Structures are given as structure tokens and as C-alpha cells.
Amino acid sequence: MNRIAILTSGSDAPGMNACIRAVVRGALYHGIEVMGIRRGYGGLIRGDIFSMTSHSVSNIIQRGGTILKSAHCPEFMTVEGRQKAYEQLMNHGIDALIVIGGNGTFEGALHFYEEFGVPIMGIPGTIDNDLFGTDYTIGYDTAVNTALKAIDRIRDTADSHERIFLIEVMGRDSGYIAVQSGIAGGAEMVVISEDPLSTQELVDTLKQGFNRSKSSSIIIVAEGETKGTAATLADQIRKQVDDKFDMRVTALGHVQRGGTPSAYDRILASRLGLGALEGLLDGTINVMVGIINNQLVYTPLREAIDRSKPIKNELLRMVNILSV
């Protein structure tokens, strides 16, 4: 293996830059050339490919986003798109591809491997933490901390005005950010689609809290919750309690995707980046690199995509016990 390429695809996540840096510097250490591909699979199809040096990744470890840019690419989900991408790889003499992203990124990569035999290494980069084969994904810790800072601030004003706040956090159809930020933020309730609470349960818990002299409450709602967004949930609660509670809704949105990566994410990204590179050099392909119980592991891409990583019930139980 003489020359590899790296791209970021799908939603960005804080720590992706630290990971790119680790791949590039690791490759140069092992005497391998690295090509950067801009704008994900779309950039690969168009040949938006450039040579990376140690200097290309200087001063990026602390930056959120991705210097390679990212995008969703429906064209790569077609055989014709992947054929064009393969031709670009051949034209640039690229022997293997490292992709940083989530489920959709790996799905495309897997087709690419199966059709053209291109050696692939996946690195889990998504704030959602919804990938099997790693305890944590790059960007998740930073996103939880960003959500937490907002929750703490909302708690101040919720307390002053004796209000109920429903705070919607990201996670697509995964409740990881909601549960962790809810525990850390001392939320009264956490609503996730994996373990939905009925409106009645929410109302009952709120009333019980207020009967025990709570004057404000924080409910964290994962955006993928089956009943819809926090705003919809707030409307449903209002219908059952009339004007009894003064309620507000805040959706944190994309603020959770940006910002300086936490120390944890930078270290995770560095370990996964070097682990990905060295795995490839050892001939480990068609896998996603991850860290489980502090050990580097490689999981077949198919398994990483298909298997779920359920949220531990003990975490939800803890929210209930500790928020009384």
C-alpha cells in the first residue's frame, strides 16, 4: 500500500479534524502518501482530490467541523456514481480509502468495497453515538457538553420564573445525547424514542414534582421521539393541564454540531485515526475501527451498520430516581 485517501461524509462532528490529522501524520510516519478528498463522496466522484502534507493538518486539532468539508451524496448511492468514484481512485493511484462518518457513510463504503474491492476503513464520526462497534463516536462528548452548557443556562431562567422547559436535543433517531445531557443537567425527565413516555406519564410526574414543592422542571426531548418535536409534546401537555404550568420550549439544533472539540473527543479521534491507518497497513479492511472498554477493535462494516447499540436501562432509571 503506497497511497491512501481520506474523506469526511454526512453530518460533521467536532473532532473530525483531530482524526484527519492523526491519519495524515500516522501515514507520513509509515512512509505512506495521503490524498485528501474534499466534500465527501461527491468530491470523490468529481475528482476533488489533493495531496496532503504534515503542514496540511497543522493547527487543526482544536477546530470543530472538518477541513475536508462534508456533504450527503445521493449520487454515490447509485452504481453509476460509484463507478465514477472508482475511476477517480484509479486515476489518482489510490490503494485504499478511509472514510469518517456515520451509518450512511458506511453503507456507501460497503457497496463500494463489494463492487470494486477497494480496501475500506471506516471511522465513526457522528454526534449521535448510534454506531455499534465503539463505545463512543467522535463528536458525541463535545455535543453532550454543548447541550449541557445550554441546559444549565436554561435552568437558571426556569428557576427564576418557576417554569417548565422542554429542551430538544439532536440525535436523529438516537437518544444518547438526550440521556447523557439529561443526567448531567439534572433533568426531571428524559424523553427518547427508544423508551417513550406517554403524555399522561409526563403530566403525572410534573404534577407530583410540583406537589412536592418543585417550582421548575427541565424535560429533555430527543428530536427523534415518536410523538414529534418538543413543541408538539408541549402542546399535548398543555391540553391536559390548562394553564397550570408556565411552559417554554427550546430546540438546541445545530449549535450542538459545532465548536471546539473536548479533550475526550480529540484523544478519541487521535486514537481512532492512527488505529484506522495502522489497521489498514496490517491488511484489516472493510471494517470500522472503534474503542470498546478502552481497547481498539475492528468491526465488520455490515455489523457496524446493522447492529444497534441500545441505551442502558440503568441510565434512564437513574434519571427517575435522582430527579425526585
Residues 6 or more apart from 231 whose CB is under 8 A from it?
Answer: 166, 168, 249, 251
Of positions 11, 17, 88, 105, contacts ligand F6P by CB under 6 A: 11
Quick one: which segment of 44-52, 166-174, 209-217, 312-320 binds ligand F6P (CB under 6 A)?
166-174
Closest approach, Cβ 127 to ligand F6P, in A, equals 5
Residues 6 or more apart from 297 whose CB is under 8 A from it?
Answer: 133, 134, 289, 290, 291
Count the site residues for ligand F6P by CB under 6 A: 10
| Residue 128 annotated in active site | yes
Going by C-alpha positions, the residue among 255, 304, 289, 256 that lies closest to residue 6 is: 289
- Quick check: 225 binds ligand F6P (CB under 6 A)? no
Quick one: which segment of 109-117, 126-134, 185-193, 263-271 binds ligand F6P (CB under 6 A)?
126-134
The C-alpha cell of 139 is what?
463528536
Binding mask 84-123 for ligand F6P (x = CB under 6 A): ------------------x---------------------
Closest approach, Cβ 318 to ligand F6P, in A, equals 23
Give the nearer residue to ligand F6P in terms of CB position, either 172 or 214. 172
Give the nearer residue to ligand F6P in terms of CB position, either 9 or 88. 9
Of positions 5, 18, 127, 131, contacts ligand F6P by CB under 6 A: 127
Residue 99 phi/psi, 5-degree rounding, is: -120, 130
Give the nearer residue to ligand F6P in terms of CB position, either 95 or 173. 173
Closest approach, Cβ 190 to ligand F6P, in A, equals 16
Give the nearer residue to ligand F6P in terms of CB position, either 70 or 270. 70
The C-alpha cell of 19 is what?
482524526
Closest approach, Cβ 126 to ligand F6P, in A, equals 5
Give the nearer residue to ligand F6P in terms of CB position, either 11 or 145. 11
Of positions 128, 141, 225, 265, contacts ligand F6P by CB under 6 A: 128
Residue the block writes with cell 455499534:
132
Contact assessment for residue 27 and residue 275, using Cβ atoms and an 8 Å cutoff: no
Near ligand F6P in 234-273, by CB under 6 A: 257
Q: Which of 12, 128, 130, 141 is catalytic?
A: 128
Give the residues lining the site for ligand F6P (CB under 6 A): 11, 102, 126-128, 170-172, 223, 257
- List active site positions: 128
